[in-house]
Structure 1
Amino acid sequence: MKEFEIRADYTRDTIVVYQAYNKAIAKAAVENQKFSAPFSFSRMTWIKPSFLWMMERSNYGQKPNQECTLAIHIKREAWEKALVLAVLTSPEKRVYPNPKVWEEEFENAKVYVQWDPERNIKGNKLEYRSIQVGISRYLIEEFNEDWIVKIEDYSPLVKKILSLTKQGEFNKAKKLLPIEKIYPLSYEIAQRIGSEN
């Protein structure tokens, strides 16, 4: 595995990203197939294509206000648009040889990218990283209205996987994980987000 590359559950047209919310937000999102109140459109929302990184973040849906895991299928063209607009959350030298350029871009960014250590099913950090993408309030309406193709509630799946891991049945739990493969990127996008082709 290379340290910086996107792995995701995707088809020809869509990519799955994960978010975790409380029951009220999740229920409304699944029913309407888009977000609505009490979802906040005035703050940044982070989307993550790694299921296990989402599990680490929400502690398998056990953290308050993160009880429900949503699988949000968005258009690949929208995902790639977000990456084209993205600015890293820190001035990585491999992407920004001049830190002043990063400062200016960061201040005006509509999309943010952060690379965090990927996790395995036991929650251990791995040598390679997983991407998370922050959609700023300037793009949230567009994300909600135009990017989303389908929203699924993966909470029952999360509970099943958690139950198996608690019993030490890691091989059985692994079989239930969404299948993620390396997401292909153009050279320009890979350079922009500090990925490795």
Structure 2
Amino acid sequence: MTEPEYRIRARCTDSTITVYQAYAPEIGLPAARDGSFPPAWRRDRMTWIKPSFLWMMYRCGWGAKERQETVLAVEITREGFEWALERACLSHYTHGLHPDRAAWKRLLRRAPARVQWDPERDLLLRPLPHRSLQLGLTGEAARRYADEWTVSITDTTALAHEIHGHVRAGDLEAARRLLPREDPYPVPDGLLDHLRR
């Protein structure tokens, strides 16, 4: 079956979705230890969450990039995730979706969330023909994410390193067996209509 170009794939339950972020240890370790973001986590800046584990690995270099050494799996409420998607704006102007550039810029300034669709990655971190969602949260959305939507925070750095070890050794099957299972997210009808070309 052909993968659609735009689809959210994620680990989810009936009430939660898991997203990934990577931080320096001074943020990531206390967040995982306490199950909540520490005071040093700034609620007044944009934060990007990614439902795709492999896209996060591409972004953080399997947890090896500076200030991204701690990889977190953050379980949040689906209600919160969908609240952000409903109020999000695409991070770039798209002809035919937005009336014009000025209208898109007004939407972007007001929106508490923004969406980018970037090529999904395979185990070698090569781009795939279908896209993966990144959700940027700012203002009210960032505060709600940290203080209301977060259900649990787990340090998955060791898992990232273990999978990467198998990839480096050429054992892609062993690496694949360890990947978190990500299924198509059950998007309510119409929720993404303003976020896809």
TM-score over 0.5 for the pair: yes
Q: Does 1:50 align with 2:57?
A: no
Match of 1:69 in 2: 71
Match of 2:178 in 1: 176
Secondary structure, aligned partner of 1:64: coil
Q: Gaps spanning 5+ residues in structure 2: where?
A: none
1:161-185 CA distances to partner (integer Å, 9 max, x unpaired)? 0111110111100000001111121
1:89-116 CA distances to partner (integer Å, 9 max, x unpaired)? 0112353243332121012121010011
Aligned residues: 195
Indicate the RMSD between aligned Cα atoms, in angstroms.
Answer: 1.3
Which segment is superposed worse, 25-34 or 124-133?
25-34
Match of 1:192 in 2: 194
1:165 aligned to which of 167, 189, 197: 167
Match of 2:24 in 1: 22
Match of 1:86 in 2: 88
- After TM superposition, give the deviation of residue 71 of structure 1 in Å: 0.2
| 1:131-170 matched pairs, under 5 angstroms | 131-170=133-172
Secondary structure, aligned partner of 1:141: helix
Secondary structure, aligned partner of 1:29: helix
Match of 2:41 in 1: 39
- In structure 2, what is the Cα distance between the partners aligned to 1:23 and 1:84? 32
Structure 1 letter corresponding to 2:152: K
Per the normalisation by structure 2, the TM-score is 0.95
- In structure 2, what is the Cα distance between the partners aligned to 1:189 and 1:95? 14
Match of 1:119 in 2: 121
Per the normalisation by structure 1, the TM-score is 0.95
Q: Gaps spanning 5+ residues in structure 1: where?
A: none
Structure 2 letter corresponding to 1:147: W
Structure 2 letter corresponding to 1:126: L
- In structure 2, what is the Cα distance between the partners aligned to 1:89 and 1:75? 23
Q: 1:7 to 1:35 in 2, by over 3 A?
A: same
- In structure 2, what is the Cα distance between the partners aligned to 1:10 and 1:148? 13
